[in-house]
């Protein structure tokens, strides 16, 4: 049977570097009077006098990555340019749950005290100054910590890829209207823990926030005669053994929610390759076993498993697992 591939470049992992499209600081204030929408910096942690600072950060995912691809890994890189002490503090990323604004406020000096909020600014109590409000003062965000970094003295810092960060970016690509970005929460248990980060308005371009996103296309394959699969199937990956890239083909005969996971021989999940709604078609997905640092998973046997569920009832229609071998 002659097949037509919809994307011939299935073996190439793609990297895109995205600059922040907005950022701001939530300066603790019961009146919501302070912000720094257009400042060169944003702040995270607690000041020497015990006032909390939280950083807001967002990236336009859908405007920089084509729809329909599978996000593989995500790394956030920030430049920290001022701190009272070089003591390392854990700074956590949480997913923001409400839309927020970046107005024209621009704090003077080192910017740590903020300045008068302008119309459209996010503040401690406002999502958009001065008429729209957070449900919770200090920002509406998930309790789940999606990534952390230990931030000490002035330097560049990375929030390395986690399954939670990948899920965030994938969801923002698939549903751009839900993309409200992340909030950075530092050590708020002690005073003098605040760290100053360079914002998207910083005069040094190389110090501005960036998001490195690595993704692989999910390749659907259809017959020239427009035939569709008559049954579910998960085919043996090829090549097998492989290093570092292999292709997995699978058949979906009806609309279904499809998930494909990779597990090591101990049953620990290594990667989620597919987690999305599929139409009936022949499909392929590529697994690149290297992460964004170029480091590969260890050599050995792995299990890949597909689960297809009915999108309306949630009933599992199909599940199957196969073995693959990665060699170095």
pLDDT tens-digit map of 262-298? 999 999 999 999 999 999 998 888 888 875 445 678 9
Q: Are residues 142 and 255 in the same domain?
A: no
For residue 5 the two structure tokens come to 């591939």
Alpha-carbon distance of 79 to 158, in angstroms, equals 9
Q: What pLDDT is attached to residue 221?
A: 44
Residues 66 and 182 in one domain: yes
Q: What letter would DSSP give residue 77? A: E
User: Do 210 and 262 sit in the same domain of this protein?
Assistant: no
Going by C-alpha positions, the residue among 61, 79, 71 that lies closest to residue 20 is: 61
What is the distance between the alpha carbons of residues 26 and 46, in angstroms, rounded to a whole number? 11
Output the pLDDT for position 220. 46
pLDDT < 50: residue spans in the chain: 1-11, 220-225, 292-293
- In this structure, the answer to whether residues 174 and 53 fall within a common structural domain is yes
Q: Tell me if 8 is assigned to some domain.
A: no
80 and 163 inside one domain? yes
User: Structure pTM?
Assistant: 0.69
Instruction: Give a yes or no: residue 222 inside a domain.
Output: no
Residue 59 inside a domain? The answer is yes
- Could you tell me if 169 and 257 lie in one domain? no
Among 191, 214, 237, identify where a domain stops.
214
Q: Is residue 51 situated within a structural domain? A: yes
Q: Own/partner pairs for 205-209, CB < 8 Å, 24+ apart?
A: 206/79, 207/79, 207/81, 207/156, 208/19, 208/20, 208/79, 209/19, 209/20, 209/23, 209/57, 209/76, 209/77, 209/78, 209/79
The Cα–Cα gap between 123 and 134 comes to 9
Predicted local confidence at residue 219, as pLDDT: 52
Cβ-based neighbours of 261, under 8 Å, separated by 6 or more: 269, 271, 272, 273, 304, 305
Specify the pLDDT at position 226: 60
| 60 and 183 assigned to the same domain | yes
Note whether 280 and 207 are same-domain residues. Answer: no
Residue 233 maps to which CATH number? Answer: 2.60.40.2550
The answer as to whether 148 is a domain residue is yes
Domain co-membership, 101 together with 59: yes
Q: Residue 237's pLDDT is what?
A: 92
Across 261-276, b (16+ Cβ under 10 Å) vs e yields bbeeeeeeebbbbbbe
Distance of CA 25 to the CA centre of its chain: 20
Domains contained in the chain, number: 2
For 206, counting Cβ atoms within 10 Å of its Cβ (0-12 exposed, 13-18 middle, 19+ buried), the class is: exposed
Per-residue confidence (pLDDT) for residue 293, from 0 to 100: 46
Q: Model confidence over 304-324: pLDDT tens digits?
A: 999 999 999 999 999 999 999
**Residue range(s) defining the domain that contains residue 309:** 228-326
Give the end of a domain, one of 214, 242, 258. 214
206 and 242, same domain (yes or no): no
Q: Is the separation of the CB atoms in 193 and 187 below 8 Å?
A: yes
Q: Is residue 254 part of a domain?
A: yes
Domain presence at residue 206: yes
Tell me which of 166, 190, 214 is where a domain ends: 214
Question: Do residues 250 and 114 both lie within one domain?
Answer: no
């Amino acid at each position: 049977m002659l097949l037509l591939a919809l994307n011939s470049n299935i073996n190439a992992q793609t990297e895109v570097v995205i600059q922040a499209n907005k950022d701001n600081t939530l300066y603790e204030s019961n009146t919501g009077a302070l912000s720094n929408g257009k400042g060169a910096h944003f702040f995270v942690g607690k000041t020497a006098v015990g006032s909390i600072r939280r950083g807001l950060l967002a990236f336009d995912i859908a405007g920089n990555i084509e729809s329909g691809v599978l996000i593989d890994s995500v790394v956030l890189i920030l430049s920290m340019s001022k701190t009272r002490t070089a003591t390392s503090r854990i700074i956590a990323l949480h997913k923001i749950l409400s839309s927020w604004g970046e107005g024209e406020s621009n704090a003077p000096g080192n910017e740590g005290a903020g300045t008068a909020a302008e119309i459209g600014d996010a503040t401690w109590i406002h999502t958009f100054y001065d008429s729209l409000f957070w449900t919770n003062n200090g920002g509406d965000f998930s309790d789940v910590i999606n990534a952390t970094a230990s931030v000490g003295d002035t330097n560049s810092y990375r929030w390395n890829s986690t399954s939670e960060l990948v899920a965030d970016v994938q969801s923002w690509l698939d549903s751009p209207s839900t993309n409200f970005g992340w909030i950075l929460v530092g050590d708020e248990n002690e005073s003098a823990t605040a760290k100053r980060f360079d914002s998207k308005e910083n005069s040094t371009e190389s110090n501005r926030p960036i998001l490195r996103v690595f993704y692989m296309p999910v390749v659907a394959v259809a017959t020239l005669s427009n035939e569709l699969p008559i049954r579910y199937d998960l085919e043996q990956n090829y090549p097998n053994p492989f290093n570092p890239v292999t292709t997995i083909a699978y058949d979906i005969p009806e609309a279904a929610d499809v998930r494909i996971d990779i597990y090591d021989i101990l049953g620990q999940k290594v990667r989620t390759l597919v987690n999305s709604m599929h139409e009936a078609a022949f499909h392929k997905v590529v697994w690149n076993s290297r992460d964004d640092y170029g480091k590969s998973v260890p050599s050995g046997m792995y299990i890949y498993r597909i689960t297809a569920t009915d999108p309306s009832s949630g009933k599992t229609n199909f599940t199957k697992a196969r073995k693959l071998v990665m060699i170095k």
